[in-house]
Structure 1
Amino acid sequence: MGPNSYGAPLEYPYPELFHVGRWPTSPLIDVAQLKGHLTLLREFASLKSTVDALEHNAGKACLDQMPEEKDRRWAWFIGRAVERFERWCKTLQIRDSEKRIENWLPPLDVIMVWHAYMLNPSWYREDCSRIHVLGILRELGRQFSDTLGTTIQYLFQKKPTDARITNWITKTSTAFDPLEAIVTTRPVRCPVCRTSLEAALMKEDGTGYLQQNFLLRCTTEECQGLNITKETLAVKKLAGDLVRESPKLRSFLAGTLRTSTLEIATARATKVKEAIMLAFELKGPVGKNDEDWRQAIMKNVNYSLDHLQKIMAPKVRGGDGRLIRRIFSAYTDDKMFSVDLVGATLRQSLFVAKMKNLRWTEHGFFDKKEDEVALKHAIARYHAFLDLMSSSPASFFVPTLDIDLVWHTHQMMGSKYDTHCLLLVRRLVDHDDKVEETKLSSAFDMTCRAWNTRFGYEYTHCGCPVPGETIGQKLSRLVINVTSAPYLLPPERDNLLAATHPSDHNAVYAFHRKSSKKDREKRRKKMSHREKREARNAERAQYHHDPAFLIPVPIYFQTPGGCISSSGSVVCNTANAGGASYAPGAGGCGAGGSCGSSASCGFGGGDGGGDGGGGGGDGGGGGGDGGGGDGGGGGSGGDGGGGCGGGGE
């Protein structure tokens, strides 16, 4: 299909069906929901800007403990937000879900933490199944996700209702405005004598609850100066779950209730706990209650997580120790959550920053229909990504930024996400919240190869204008022979083209590993070499970006299975009966029809040849210092937090 007789460009039609695995499906996420999610991310970005601009001399008591350095300040703010989130969760009641959302929705900082929690779907669903108040949270989450495609913009445009503010203050006894809330301590119960103590969140000597070297002494006569740390609190939490016996799911250990094919695997969880409790050191004292039993376990392991893990590990065999590591990853402090929500929220903040840098979070950025093409591209590519995961259950695939945005939005749909995954991918697809940088880099390279093998075209395409090129010239070079068919071009806005940059905001940098340090240094040298070469050729382009700058491909048109070929023509696959338009995974390309240009920014591979080419070349993954940097483990500048899909356990 070409341009009409007047030379007007074709509209971008939305595919009627996508194929994921064996099944055709209507779109799982729509443009309105993506816009709603971007509205939410815009509010998060605005909140961070406000916190960054705070001054100590603002005259607010709540800012007395605020660090000067911006990154530490943001971590401090998120730590307080997690405290406020937990305080709110503990007050939730069934009747809260019967209220209108504008009357119960918590403050923005709390929503931000909740959002990061949702984006760890396996842990979020399991915690909500095990813990009663979190089950109520999940019900409220359904209401919140329903607003993404409808009223979310109005919720944030209007001032909070009096009922909403009153509800929050009544439940938490803190101010609604996070910048007015004075949260400086946290109640901590001594693991031994159970005395309720107040732990300062921040202390000058670095021993506050939100700080790395947390230390609190219990001075009761029974404890005689016992040192309370995050580890002793975690041992108490795990020992409590070990001795808890009840028909409720709360009695199961965190990390044992969900598998890749079952939302609630009570039979497995029961067997795991029964096997663990056969350990001699964990047997309960005769005639004692659960509290005495818990105390006995803590003393037997000397309040040490390592000691407890050595006792439990031999009882949990199989899976190369993955299950026991999963269990212990949920026990790091005394919070009810199985996820480190401070770390998760920090990592998601870096994804938000990427969306902001792309300008996708700006008001009105996608108001025009032609601009919505970028979002439709993202949705189409996400369905292809799900299809790729369905084809290789054991593989670990890395999304690009546009795909990750849609994936995040889908995860916010709660039980709908689980249902879709089980039906289409045949397993519950988790979103790995943190991945070591080297693994992320190699996984992205594997994703590129798998995508090319399954769909017949490249996963990523270089979208950065080389020095001296305009964005229009770059696009013309990407799609050959398009001068007579401009409708085949991607959106002609350079800040849209960056959207398929690899999403590595879940990268975890292992600075203690010599191999990781060596890889980072190699990538730095490669990027330096490339920059010097480009500087010799011409001035650098005005639009700057991280390495491995990518654009979405293919563009779909309303032809049966049609997509762009490397020659610039439309390749039709007539095998799809009924006239429906199909996207990747449906056999979308006809024989020999690859989509888009074959020139690629290499990423995560070896030295490769030239500047790119199938994962070699410049731009390689996983760089950056201090959780940031220019390489990006998987490709977006060393961010940490959002996701890779992989096989089940």
Structure 2
Amino acid sequence: MANTGGTFDLSGHKKLFGKDGKYIVAGIPTDALVEQSLVSDHLKLLSAFDTLRASVLYGEYVDEILPSYTEAVQGMVSSAEKAQKGSSEQNCTRWIAFLTRALARFETYISQVLNHANTQAEFHLQLNDLDLPPFFAESEYTNKMPDPLVVPDRLLPPLDVLMIWHTYLLNPSRYNEDIYLASHRSIFARYEFPLAKAARMIDNYTLEYSVAVAEPIWGNLTGESFDPLHAPSNMTSVACHVCEQPQSVSWEDLCTGDWRIKCADCNIITTPSNMRAKKWVEHVERWQQGTSDMCSYRLHGGALSAYNGRFFTTDPYAPILNRVFASGRVQNNAVGGMTQRILGESTRDVYGKVKLERKLPREVYEAAGHDMEAISQILYESVQADMGRKLSQKQHHDLYRRTSLMMSYYLELHPLSAASIDLVAATERQFRFIESIKKLGWLAPGGMPNLDNAILRYHAWLNIAGKGTKMLCPTLDIDLVWHTHQLARFYYWDMFRLVSRFVDHNDRVEKTFLRGSFNDTVDIWVREYNRPYSVCGCNEHRSKYETTKKLLSHFKGKARKKDSEGEIANANEDVTPLHPTYPSVHSAVTKRGSEAEQERNDVFDHVSPYPEMEPFFFKPAEDCTVPGKGTAGVSSENVDGNASAVCMQGAYLYGSHCSSSGWYSDPYSGAPHIAANTALGLSVDAGGSMF
């Protein structure tokens, strides 16, 4: 694909700089959002992560053989059978087991180090602090939180814990919502990710991470080794979901998604689904204890909109939960002022009159056999049966949408973590990005040239993000700077301040959709800046590009200039399959296809899109009977051959689905609009949107 436009350099571009030398993003002057030193520190940290992974897969960690599956684990292959499957699968198992243990150590770091009585900072978060004032982007940049604290050296975490924390921040909507919903995570609102400090603790030559002052404190508070490669034991324990007695199990047992642990005390088998179901029940019980619908506890995904990142001024799950479970919550009416009223038989919401139920969450839990998928189905069918024919087709679709949104978080979360995202899977995806920049030589000291230009291009990318409505696909250099910005505590607020919307980091988008998104980004970029978006910058051809750029300056005719640049872009595409300004697609979901199609998709085998106006892809499971069950990030064709793209709420259907499974023709197909928000009873101006 040829790129047209002027020279590649954006320095001094009138659309990007004000008279005072500040950047201009969506018409708003701002200082640099990311400093060059932080990008360098980030690259050094990624190098240390890559070295750690190599040690786990091929280094000294290999000699510390993980134990065989314990007798408590059933339905899995024996270690002898597993050994016959080859070293690549063994490496994969070893790495996932290591990440699983790293996740557990991350949870330990939160509970036993950062939240320790001697280190806790007095700080309390209110959920409605996330409610942004009207016209936030045009107002003074203020927020209700004090400046973040710097993690002291003695509290710096081990490298594997830093790796999980890093991944968590690269899922900013989940990170920001979680620190408000989970009180023990609110400490993260006070501490900045210690990027610069961590980089200083990494040896420039060996890339080993060492913090002498933190090691004894970590050991005293956790009883574990600071060095993640030399754990005193490869065993851990998982509590039975019924009797809660701890059961000994190896990390290798827990690295698959279908493990089954038989309790030695009550003989009940515990599965990941059982643990997710128990977590959901505990969250609903906490929801019942809330008072104000505005600022009391919400379930995962119920505080920040998956569509636009704004705070839901009314609980989006209330129309479902109020019809099933008893609670003392009051309803907020966002229309005509924030008035409150206690729920009663005369209360009406988006589905009409509320018929209050008095079920207990444990009753649904027991009826579902402690299974998360069964709970999802029972909950949806319970409300659907209660409403009967009173629901219109639009309301039926809305009900499935809301239920899918709520249950998808609980169906996909990691059973050993309080996070609303599977951080093991997310970390694994992140390493695909690391592999991409490693091939470019960026992980070597000084391996990434022209950091200033990458930072400038990131600001230019944000500038067009604030003006348009299409999903934008960043290039590798932009993506690296974007990731660095996401590590900053105020990233969430920066987005609303500058571009009036939350630029989330959706790391699972189908390749063919992403390819079209990249083409759109190229068109928008060239139209806005008259510069190429994607030009080769790999080490091998960098000097060739600089020479060609100088030659281009001698051409005065625009037509000749564009033709020449098109030739350069085409030549670069032939020269190398990966370079800094190629699309960064580090977590794309791949569909099966022909070998030729796969080759065409190779450049899109990772993803970091800007999904503000996209359908948040969610492909329901084949039977379409369990709300929230499916594969995120996939677009496909339904049984009738109609292309479909479904967001996490079940919205954005292009074509029709079979009504027998609860899917209907989407009345809101196409671009989101205010009417859709109004139909949901949500505040359009100040609140989050379901679509």
> Is TM > 0.5 for Structure 1 vs Structure 2?
yes
AA at the equivalent of 1:96? T
AA at the equivalent of 1:339? I
Q: Given the superposition, is the C-alpha separation of residues 22 and 320 from structure 1 closer, same or farther in structure 2, using an over 3 Å criterion?
A: farther
Q: 2: CA distance between counterparts of 1:133 and 1:57?
A: 35
- The residue number in structure 1 matching 2:275 is 233
Task: Please report how far the alpha carbon of residue 392 of structure 1 lies from its aligned counterpart in structure 2 after TM superposition.
Answer: 2.4
Q: Given the superposition, is the C-alpha separation of residues 473 and 458 from structure 1 closer, same or farther in structure 2, using an over 3 Å criterion?
A: closer
After superposition, give the CA deviation of every residue in 1:307-362 in whole Å (9 maximum; x if it has no partner). Answer: 32234457697779555444323213432111111111111112122222222221
- The residue number in structure 2 matching 1:102 is 153
Whether the 8 Å CA contact 2:536–2:579 is kept in 1: the answer is: no
1:451 pairs, out of 525, 529, 534, with 525
2:179 pairs, out of 128, 132, 149, with 128
Which consecutive unaligned segments of at least 5 residues does structure 1 have? 1-9, 203-207, 285-291, 510-515, 528-619, 622-630
1:265 maps onto 2:315 in alignment: no
Q: Given the superposition, is the C-alpha separation of residues 24 and 251 from structure 1 closer, same or farther in structure 2, using an over 3 Å criterion?
A: closer
- The residue number in structure 2 matching 1:214 is 259
- The residue number in structure 2 matching 1:153 is 199
1:379 maps onto 2:455 in alignment: yes
- The residue number in structure 2 matching 1:330 is 409
SS at match of 1:398: coil
1:348 maps onto 2:430 in alignment: yes
Q: Given the superposition, is the C-alpha separation of residues 399 and 357 from structure 1 closer, same or farther in structure 2, using an over 3 Å criterion?
A: same
AA at the equivalent of 2:580? A
Q: Given the superposition, is the C-alpha separation of residues 97 and 496 from structure 1 closer, same or farther in structure 2, using an over 3 Å criterion?
A: farther
SS at match of 2:506: coil
1:20 maps onto 2:25 in alignment: yes
Whether the 8 Å CA contact 2:179–2:189 is kept in 1: the answer is: yes
- The residue number in structure 2 matching 1:172 is 222
- The residue number in structure 2 matching 1:82 is 103
2:484 pairs, out of 404, 409, 416, with 409
Task: Please report how far the alpha carbon of residue 422 of structure 1 lies from its aligned counterpart in structure 2 after TM superposition.
Answer: 0.5
1:399 maps onto 2:444 in alignment: no
After superposition, give the CA deviation of every residue in 1:482-502 in whole Å (9 maximum; x if it has no partner). Answer: 4799xxx99xx9999921121
Q: 2: CA distance between counterparts of 1:54 and 1:470?
A: 33
AA at the equivalent of 1:117? Y
SS at match of 1:33: helix
1:40 pairs, out of 22, 45, 55, with 45
Task: Please report how far the alpha carbon of residue 432 of structure 1 lies from its aligned counterpart in structure 2 after TM superposition.
Answer: 0.4
1:307 pairs, out of 364, 369, 374, with 374
- What's the TM-score once normalised by structure 1's chain length? 0.66
Task: Please report how far the alpha carbon of residue 258 of structure 1 lies from its aligned counterpart in structure 2 after TM superposition.
Answer: 0.9
- The residue number in structure 2 matching 1:297 is 364
Q: 1: CA distance between counterparts of 2:319 and 2:103?
A: 34
- The residue number in structure 1 matching 2:243 is 193
Q: 1: CA distance between counterparts of 2:238 and 2:372?
A: 19
Q: Given the superposition, is the C-alpha separation of residues 260 and 340 from structure 1 closer, same or farther in structure 2, using an over 3 Å criterion?
A: closer
Task: Please report how far the alpha carbon of residue 56 of structure 1 lies from its aligned counterpart in structure 2 after TM superposition.
Answer: 7.4
Q: Given the superposition, is the C-alpha separation of residues 322 and 277 from structure 1 closer, same or farther in structure 2, using an over 3 Å criterion?
A: closer
AA at the equivalent of 1:361? L
AA at the equivalent of 2:535? H
Task: Please report how far the alpha carbon of residue 40 of structure 1 lies from its aligned counterpart in structure 2 after TM superposition.
Answer: 1.0
Whether the 8 Å CA contact 1:201–1:209 is kept in 2: the answer is: yes
Root-mean-square deviation over aligned CA pairs: 3.8
Whether the 8 Å CA contact 1:34–1:375 is kept in 2: the answer is: yes
SS at match of 1:500: coil
After superposition, give the CA deviation of every residue in 1:594-620 in whole Å (9 maximum; x if it has no partner). Answer: xxxxxxxxxxxxxxxxxxxxxxxxxx4
Q: 2: CA distance between counterparts of 1:430 and 1:11?
A: 25
Task: Please report how far the alpha carbon of residue 80 of structure 1 lies from its aligned counterpart in structure 2 after TM superposition.
Answer: 1.9
Q: 2: CA distance between counterparts of 1:128 and 1:20?
A: 28
After superposition, give the CA deviation of every residue in 1:386-428 in whole Å (9 maximum; x if it has no partner). Answer: 12221224x32211110100100111102x2122100111012
Q: Given the superposition, is the C-alpha separation of residues 471 and 54 from structure 1 closer, same or farther in structure 2, using an over 3 Å criterion?
A: closer
Q: 2: CA distance between counterparts of 1:46 and 1:56?
A: 12
AA at the equivalent of 1:19? I
Whether the 8 Å CA contact 2:281–2:365 is kept in 1: the answer is: yes
SS at match of 1:198: strand
Q: Given the superposition, is the C-alpha separation of residues 210 and 411 from structure 1 closer, same or farther in structure 2, using an over 3 Å criterion?
A: same
Whether the 8 Å CA contact 2:299–2:406 is kept in 1: the answer is: yes
Q: Given the superposition, is the C-alpha separation of residues 295 and 195 from structure 1 closer, same or farther in structure 2, using an over 3 Å criterion?
A: farther
Q: Given the superposition, is the C-alpha separation of residues 297 and 186 from structure 1 closer, same or farther in structure 2, using an over 3 Å criterion?
A: farther
Task: Please report how far the alpha carbon of residue 137 of structure 1 lies from its aligned counterpart in structure 2 after TM superposition.
Answer: 3.1
AA at the equivalent of 1:390? G
Task: Please report how far the alpha carbon of residue 129 of structure 1 lies from its aligned counterpart in structure 2 after TM superposition.
Answer: 0.9
AA at the equivalent of 1:32? S
Whether the 8 Å CA contact 1:97–1:139 is kept in 2: the answer is: no
Q: 2: CA distance between counterparts of 1:359 and 1:57?
A: 26
Whether the 8 Å CA contact 2:193–2:488 is kept in 1: the answer is: no
User: Which is worse superposed, 99-108 or 446-455?
Assistant: 446-455
- The residue number in structure 2 matching 1:116 is 167
- The residue number in structure 1 matching 2:686 is none
Q: 2: CA distance between counterparts of 1:185 and 1:483?
A: 68
Q: 1: CA distance between counterparts of 2:538 and 2:37?
A: 29
Task: Please report how far the alpha carbon of residue 131 of structure 1 lies from its aligned counterpart in structure 2 after TM superposition.
Answer: 1.0
Q: Given the superposition, is the C-alpha separation of residues 496 and 233 from structure 1 closer, same or farther in structure 2, using an over 3 Å criterion?
A: closer
Structure ranking higher on relative contact order (CA contacts 8 Å, 6+ apart):
2
After superposition, give the CA deviation of every residue in 1:280-323 in whole Å (9 maximum; x if it has no partner). Answer: 4x569xxxxxxx93431212223333332234457697779555
Task: Please report how far the alpha carbon of residue 643 of structure 1 lies from its aligned counterpart in structure 2 after TM superposition.
Answer: 4.4
- The residue number in structure 2 matching 1:498 is 579
AA at the equivalent of 1:502? P
- The residue number in structure 1 matching 2:300 is 254
Q: 2: CA distance between counterparts of 1:176 and 1:19?
A: 44
Whether the 8 Å CA contact 1:215–1:227 is kept in 2: the answer is: yes
Q: Number of paired residues?
A: 486
- What's the TM-score once normalised by structure 2's chain length? 0.62
SS at match of 1:499: coil
After superposition, give the CA deviation of every residue in 1:22-58 in whole Å (9 maximum; x if it has no partner). Answer: 3232221121111111111111122122223226773
Q: Given the superposition, is the C-alpha separation of residues 403 and 84 from structure 1 closer, same or farther in structure 2, using an over 3 Å criterion?
A: same
After superposition, give the CA deviation of every residue in 1:52-84 in whole Å (9 maximum; x if it has no partner). Answer: 3226773x4668789842344322322221121
Q: 2: CA distance between counterparts of 1:268 and 1:80?
A: 37
Q: Percent identity?
A: 26
Which consecutive unaligned segments of at least 5 residues does structure 2 have? 1-8, 70-78, 122-149, 328-358, 384-394, 557-564, 614-688
Whether the 8 Å CA contact 2:247–2:264 is kept in 1: the answer is: no
Task: Please report how far the alpha carbon of residue 123 of structure 1 lies from its aligned counterpart in structure 2 after TM superposition.
Answer: 0.1
Q: Given the superposition, is the C-alpha separation of residues 412 and 322 from structure 1 closer, same or farther in structure 2, using an over 3 Å criterion?
A: farther
Q: 1: CA distance between counterparts of 2:376 and 2:546?
A: 55
SS at match of 2:241: coil
Q: Given the superposition, is the C-alpha separation of residues 100 and 383 from structure 1 closer, same or farther in structure 2, using an over 3 Å criterion?
A: closer
SS at match of 1:194: coil
